[in-house]
C-alpha cells in the first residue's frame, strides 16, 4: 500500500504530488474464492457485476460445496491490489454473496482439469503416450486416429503439456479453469455468517405506526 | 404579473384565475373520473368534455338504461363476493400495508390486473394512477426522499416495466429506498417470448440493490418483507420485485413472517474504534481541514451530529449536490457547494486543504474532476456505510465503514475542541475567498442586466417566498445548478435532485411524490423547458388527483446546459440545443392547470405568490434569459483548480 499516505505525517511540502488513482498500480494474478447462495441467477449476478465494473477476469468456476445450498466460485483475474480489493467489496454488495477471499499466493493448491483430443497415428502414438506418462496425464479414450487425454494440474502444467501435444495436432481442447484451496487446516469459513441471526420483518417504529392507523383488511378464506 | 390562459380573461385575480379543476377545491378527484377534464373557466362546456355516447347505449334516464345499470351492478358484486379466496395479490397488499405503505404510484396492464382487481379491498393503500411509469418511479423516489420511508411504484410486464427502469436507475445512483413491483407473464410462459414478456429481472439486475422473481403466491409475504428490509437498511437503494401473473392469482394461506434471515446482508453500522482514534488524531493535527458532507448525512439523519462535530472542531462544511441541506446554509461554518459547478471559494478550500473529512459522499467525478490533481496536499478520512465506496475513486488514508451518524457520535468526543478563534487565520482566509468569489459572480448577485430575467434571481426569490422551508425538486440542467446554489436551503431533505444519473424529467413527478410524502410542506418542481417536456404528462395526474404541486418552469427556450457546453467547449458550434416548446399557458389550460407568467423581475414575486394561493397544483412560467451560463464551471476531465469563471462579455445573458 505504498500509495497510501501516512495519515499522521506532515503534509508534503514543495512540488504537489500527483494523487494515486485506485486500480492504476501494477497488475498481477489473483485467485479469489467467492462463497454464494446456490440460487437461480447468482452466477449471472456475479458475472454481470464483474463485467459492469470493468474487472479483467481470466476464469470463473462454480460448483457445489460440502454444504447444501451453498456454492463456491473461483475467480482468477489480473489487477493491482486495490482493484482486487474493490472487486471483493463490490461482490459483497450482492445479497447472495456470503464471503469473498483473495487467496494468498503462497500455500495455495491450484488446479484445473483439461481434456485434450490429440491426433495420433500408429507412427507417433507411442511418443504421445510417453509424454502423457511424463506429465502423469491419463488416457481416457483411444480411437484409430486420435486419443483423449485428461490432465489436471496448475495452469502452467497444463499449458506446457498442451504445447507439447500441439506438435502432434490438437483436434479439440477444453479446460475447466482454476479451482483453488489453501494448504493446511485453514478454510474459507461461512459458518459464522450463516449463524448470524435474523432481523424483524417489520421494524418496530413502522409496526407501531401501522397498528395505530389501520387494521389491515384480511380476506377470509372460503372453506 | 400576467396570468395566462389561452381563452381565459380573468387576468388579475390570482387564485381565482385557476381553471376549474384546480381552483374550485371541490373537485378533488382521487376516486373520480380523471378521464373527464373539467371545462376551462369562462369557456362554454365543450362537447368534448362530456363522454361521447355511442348509438347502442340507451339515453340516460330511460328504463333501458336503468336495466343495464342493474345488470352491471349485479355483475360487479358477482365478481367480488366478500367471502372470496385470498390470492397472491391480497398477500401482496397485506404485506405492503404491514410495511407502512400508504401510497403506491402505478399503472395497470395485463399481467398486473389481478392486483387491480383487489385494490379496493385494501383501502389503506392509496393508488395514484400516473400517466407514464417513469413518473411512478420518480414519484416513489420523491416520496422516499422527503419522508425517509420506502417509496413504492408499480407497473405491468414488458413496456410497463421498461418504462419504470429510468426511475429505478435514478434511485439506484442516488441511494433512494424504493420497492418497484412489476407483474410478469405466467410462470409457464416465461422464456417463450410471450406477449409483453421481457427479461426484466435481467434488465434491473445491475441497477438495483437486489431483485426478485416471484413465481409462487406463498413466497410473496417473505419476499416483500425482504425487499423492504433491503431497500431501507444500510445504504438504501431500490429493490425490484417481479411477480408472475399466476403467483398473483393463486390462492395462498401463507402468513407474514415475523423475522427474516439474509446472511449475505449485514451492514456495518459502528465505526471501528481504532480507526476512530486514528481519525481523531489526524483531525487534531490538521491545520486546514475541510469537511465534505454528502447525501449520507441526510440518509442517516445525521444533520445534528454533523453540526455538533463541526462546531466542536470549528471545521468548515462543504457539501456535494446531494448534500444540499446537510447544514443550514446560514450557519457560519456552512461554506457551500463543491465540484463542477460549485463555488470557487469552496473548490479552492478543498485544493488547499491538508485534511479532507469525507462524510457519506463518494468522490464522484463531478466532485473531484481529475483525481490526480485533486486536493494534492490533503490526507483523506472517508466515512461511508458502503465499504465499496471507500477506495473506489480516490485512495484514502483513514477508511471508516459505518453509519455516518453513529460514527460522528463516537468521533466527536474523541477530537479536541477548537474555537473559531483558534483557527482565526485559516477561517479568515476562507471568509476572504468567499466574499471575493461571491462578489465577483454577477450570477450570484441577483443582478438584472439588459432587461432579461436571470435564473438566479428567480431561484433566490423562490427560496425567499417559500420561507426556505418548501420541498424543492429539481429537474436536470442549468436550473438544477442554479437551484442548488441560490435557493438558500435550511432544512434537511428539502432539496430533491437527480444527482447520480442526472435524469431529465425527474422534477415534476418527484415533486408529486414529495407532496404526498410530506403533505404539510409546500412542494415545488423547479424544471427546465427540456426536462418538463419529458414528463409533462404528469400534469394530468396532479390535476386529476388534486396533488398540490407548484411547478416553476425556467424557460430559456434551450437545452441550456447543452447550449453552454457547445458555447464553451465546442467553440460555439450549436446543434440541437435550441428547443422549441409549446405555449405552456395553453397546455396548462388543456390540463385544467392554473398558469401564471413572469417575464420581468417585477413580475416574479407576484407570479410565485399567485401560484401559492391556488388550492391545488399550479404552473409558473418564467421566461428567462436564453444564454445565461452557470459559472464557474470545471470542464470535464480538468481539475478543481481549472475553473472557468467568466465567459463572453456583457452580452451574456441574452
Ligand atoms: C434523459 C436525459 N437526456 C439527456 C440528458 C442530457 N442533458 C443534460 S442537461 C440537458 C439540457 C436540459 O435542458 P432544460 O431541461 O431546458 O434545462 P436547462 O439546462 O435549460 O436549465 C440535457 C439534454 C439528460 N441529463 N437526461
Ligand atoms: Mg432550458
Domain spans in chain A, listed from the N-terminal domain onward: 25-105, 109-179
Q: Which of A9, A89, A216 sits opposite B124 (nearest CB)?
A: A216
Choose which residue among B530, B533, B564, B579 to substitute to test ligand 1 binding: the one with the highest number of ligand atoms within 8 A of its C-beta: B530
Domain A25-105: give its CATH architecture.
2-Layer Sandwich (3.30)
Contact B371 A219 (CB under 8 A): no
Q: Does A109-179 match A25-105 at the fold level? A: yes
Task: Say yes or no: CB of residue B561 within 6 Å of ligand 1.
Answer: yes
**Per-residue pLDDT, B644:** 87
Pairing of strands A108-119, A179-182: antiparallel
Q: Which atom of ligand 1 is nearest to the CA of B534?
A: 1
Q: Is 3.40.50.970 the CATH classification of the domain at B447-623?
A: yes
Closest C-alpha to B612, from B466, B463, B460, B511: B466
State pLDDT tens for residues A106-132. Answer: 889 999 999 999 999 999 999 999 999
- Give A186's contacts (C-beta < 8 A, 6+ positions apart): none
Query: B-chain residues within 8 Å CB-CB of A94?
Result: 210, 264
Helix (H, G, I), strand (E, B) or coil at B492: coil
Contact yes or no for B624/B556 (Cβ under 8 A): yes
* Boundaries of every domain in chain B: 86-249, 273-439, 447-623
Pairing of strands B151-155, B178-184: parallel
Domain B86-249: give its CATH architecture.
3-Layer(aba) Sandwich (3.40)
- Give B576's contacts (C-beta < 8 A, 6+ positions apart): B559, B562
Q: Is 3.40.50.1220 the CATH classification of the domain at B273-439?
A: yes
Pairwise CA distance, residues B597 & A151, whole Å: 80
Measure B474 CA to ligand 1 centroid, in angstroms: 12
Query: B-chain residues within 8 Å CB-CB of A220?
Result: 82-83, 86
Contact A194 B253 (CB under 8 A): no
Measure B562 CA to ligand 1 centroid, in angstroms: 7
Q: Does B273-439 match B86-249 at the fold level? A: yes
Catalytic site includes residue B245: yes
Catalytic site includes residue B195: yes
**CATH superfamily of this structure's domain A109-179:** ACT-like. Chain A, domain 2 (3.30.70.1150)
Q: What is the pTM of this model?
A: 0.88
Catalytic site includes residue B133: yes
Residue A159 or B32, more confident: A159
State pLDDT tens for residues A20-61. Answer: 888 888 999 999 999 999 999 999 999 999 999 999 899 999
Strand order in the sheet with B495-496: B2-3, B594-598, B618-623, B549-555, B523-528, B471-474, B495-496
Beta-carbon neighbour count of residue B312 at 10 Å? Answer: 16
- ipTM computed for the complex: 0.89
Shortest distance, CA A30 to any CA of chain B (angstroms) = 18
In degrees and rounded to multiples of 5, residue B98 shows phi and psi of -60, -30
User: Which among B245, B344, B550, B558 is annotated as catalytic?
Assistant: B245
Q: Splitting chain B (654 residues) into consecutive groups of 10 residues, what average pLDDT does each group show?
A: 39 36 32 35 34 45 71 55 84 97 97 96 96 98 98 98 98 98 97 97 98 98 98 98 98 96 96 98 98 98 98 98 98 97 96 98 96 96 98 96 98 98 97 89 51 88 98 98 96 98 98 98 98 98 98 97 95 96 98 97 96 98 92 89 75 42
Query: How many CA atoms within 13 Å lie on the side-chain side of B172?
Result: 19
Amino acid at each position: 500500500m505504498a500509495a497510501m499516505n501516512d495519515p499522521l505525517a506532515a503534509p508534503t511540502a514543495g512540488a504537489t504530488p500527483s494523487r494515486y488513482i485506485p486500480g492504476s498500480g501494477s497488475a498481477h494474478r489473483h485467485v479469489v474464492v467467492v462463497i454464494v447462495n446456490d440460487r437461480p441467477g447468482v452466477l449471472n449476478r456475479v458475472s454481470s457485476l464483474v463485467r459492469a465494473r470493468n474487472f479483467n477476469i481470466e476464469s470463473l468456476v462454480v460448483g457445489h460445496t460440502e454444504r447444501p445450498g451453498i456454492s463456491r466460485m473461483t475467480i482468477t483475474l489480473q489487477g493491482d491490489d486495490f482493484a482486487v480489493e474493490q472487486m471483493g467489496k463490490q461482490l459483497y454488495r450482492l445479497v447472495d454473496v456470503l464471503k469473498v477471499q483473495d487467496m494468498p499466493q503462497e500455500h495455495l493448491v491450484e488446479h484445473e482439469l483439461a481434456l485434450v483430443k490429440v491426433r495420433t497415428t500408429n507412427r507417433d502414438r507411442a511418443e504421445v503416450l510417453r509424454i502423457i506418462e511424463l506429465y502423469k496425464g491419463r488416457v481416457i479414450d483411444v480411437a484409430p486416429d486420435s486419443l483423449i487425454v485428461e490432465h489436471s494440474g496448475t495452469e502452467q502444467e497444463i499449458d506446457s503439456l498442451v504445447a507439447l501435444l500441439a506438435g502432434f495436432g490438437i483436434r479439440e481442447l477444453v479446460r475447466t479453469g482454476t479451482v483453488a484451496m489453501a494448504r493446511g487446516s485453514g478454510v474459507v469459513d461461512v459458518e459464522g455468517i450463516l449463524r448470524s441471526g435474523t432481523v424483524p420483518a417489520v421494524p418496530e417504529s413502522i409496526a407501531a405506526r401501522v397498528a395505530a392507523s389501520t387494521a389491515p383488511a384480511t380476506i377470509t378464506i372460503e372453506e | 404579473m400576467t396570468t395566462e390562459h389561452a381563452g381565459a380573461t380573468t387576468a388579475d385575480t390570482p387564485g381565482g384565475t385557476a381553471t376549474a379543476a384546480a381552483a374550485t377545491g371541490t373537485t378533488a378527484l382521487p376516486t373520480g373520473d380523471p378521464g373527464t377534464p373539467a371545462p376551462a373557466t369562462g369557456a362554454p362546456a365543450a362537447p368534448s368534455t362530456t363522454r361521447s355516447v355511442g348509438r347502442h347505449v340507451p339515453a340516460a334516464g330511460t328504463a333501458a338504461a336503468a336495466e343495464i345499470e342493474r345488470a352491471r351492478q349485479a355483475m360487479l358484486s358477482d365478481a367480488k363476493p366478500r367471502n372470496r379466496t385470498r390470492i397472491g395479490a391480497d398477500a401482496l397488499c397485506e404485506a405492503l400495508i404491514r410495511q407502512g405503505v400508504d401510497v403506491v404510484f402505478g399503472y395497470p396492464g395485463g399481467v398486473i390486473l389481478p392486483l387491480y382487481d383487489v385494490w379496493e379491498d385494501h383501502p389503506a393503500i392509496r393508488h395514484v394512477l400516473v400517466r407514464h411509469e417513469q413518473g411512478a418511479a420518480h414519484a416513489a423516489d420523491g416520496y422516499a426522499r422527503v419522508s425517509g420511508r420506502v417509496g413504492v411504484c408499480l407497473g405491468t410486464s414488458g413496456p410497463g416495466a421498461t418504462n419504470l427502469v429510468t426511475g429505478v436507475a435514478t434511485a439506484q445512483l442516488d441511494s433512494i429506498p424504493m420497492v418497484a413491483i412489476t407483474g410478469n407473464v405466467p410462470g409457464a410462459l416465461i422464456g417463450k417470448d410471450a406477449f409483453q414478456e421481457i427479461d426484466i429481472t435481467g434488465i434491473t439486475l445491475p441497477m438495483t440493490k437486489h431483485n426478485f422473481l416471484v413465481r409462487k403466491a406463498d413466497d410473496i409475504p417473505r419476499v416483500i418483507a425482504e425487499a423492504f428490509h433491503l431497500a431501507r437498511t444500510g445504504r438504501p437503494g431500490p429493490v425490484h420485485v417481479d411477480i408472475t401473473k399466476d403467483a398473483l392469482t393463486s390462492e395462498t394461506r401463507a402468513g407474514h413472517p415475523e423475522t427474516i434471515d439474509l446472511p449475505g446482508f449485514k451492514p456495518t453500522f459502528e465505526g471501528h474504534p481504532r480507526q476512530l482514534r486514528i481519525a481523531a488524531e489526524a483531525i487534531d493535527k490538521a491545520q486546514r481541514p475541510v469537511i465534505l458532507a454528502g447525501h449520507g448525512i441526510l440518509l442517516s439523519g445525521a444533520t445534528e451530529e454533523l453540526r455538533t462535530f463541526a462546531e466542536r472542531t470549528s471545521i468548515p462544511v462543504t457539501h456535494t449536490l446531494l448534500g444540499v441541506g446537510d447544514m443550514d446554509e446560514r450557519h457560519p461554518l456552512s461554506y457551500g457547494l463543491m465540484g463542477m459547478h460549485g463555488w470557487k471559494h469552496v473548490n479552492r478550500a478543498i485544493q488547499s486543504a491538508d485534511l479532507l473529512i469525507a462524510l457519506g459522499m463518494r468522490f464522484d467525478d463531478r466532485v473531484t474532476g481529475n483525481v490526480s490533481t485533486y486536493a494534492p496536499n490533503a490526507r483523506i478520512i472517508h466515512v461511508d456505510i458502503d465499504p465499496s465506496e471507500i477506495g473506489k475513486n480516490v485512495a484514502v488514508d483513514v477508511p471508516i465503514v459505518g453509519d455516518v451518524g453513529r460514527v460522528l457520535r463516537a468521533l466527536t468526543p474523541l477530537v479536541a475542541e477548537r474555537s473559531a478563534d483558534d483557527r482565526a487565520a485559516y477561517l479568515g482566509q476562507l471568509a476572504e475567498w468567499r466574499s471575493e468569489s461571491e462578489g465577483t459572480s454577477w450570477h450570484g448577485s441577483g443582478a438584472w442586466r439588459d432587461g432579461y430575467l436571470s435564473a438566479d434571481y428567480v431561484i433566490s426569490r423562490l427560496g425567499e417566498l417559500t420561507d426556505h422551508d418548501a420541498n424543492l425538486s429539481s429537474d436536470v440542467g442549468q436550473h438544477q445548478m442554479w437551484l442548488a446554489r441560490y435557493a438558500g436551503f435550511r432544512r434537511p431533505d428539502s432539496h430533491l435532485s437527480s444527482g447520480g444519473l442526472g435524469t431529465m424529467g425527474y422534477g415534476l413527478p418527484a415533486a408529486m411524490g414529495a407532496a404526498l410524502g410530506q403533505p404539510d410542506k409546500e412542494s415545488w418542481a423547479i424544471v427546465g423547458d427540456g426536462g418538463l417536456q419529458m414528463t409533462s404528462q404528469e400534469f394530468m395526474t396532479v390535476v386529476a388527483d388534486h396533488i398540490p404541486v407548484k411547478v416553476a418552469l425556467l424557460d430559456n427556450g434551450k437545452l441550456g446546459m447543452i447550449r453552454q457546453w457547445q458555447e464553451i467547449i465546442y467553440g460555439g458550434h450549436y446543434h440541437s440545443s435550441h428547443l422549441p416548446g409549446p405555449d405552456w399557458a395553453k397546455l396548462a389550460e388543456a390540463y385544467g392547470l392554473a398558469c401564471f407568467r413572469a417575464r420581468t423581475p417585477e413580475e416574479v414575486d407576484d407570479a410565485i405568490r399567485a401560484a401559492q394561493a391556488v388550492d391545488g397544483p399550479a404552473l409558473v412560467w418564467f421566461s428567462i434569459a436564453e444564454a445565461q451560463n452557470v459559472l464557474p464551471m470545471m470542464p470535464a476531465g480538468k481539475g478543481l483548480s481549472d475553473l472557468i469563471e467568466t465567459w463572453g462579455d456583457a452580452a451574456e445573458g441574452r
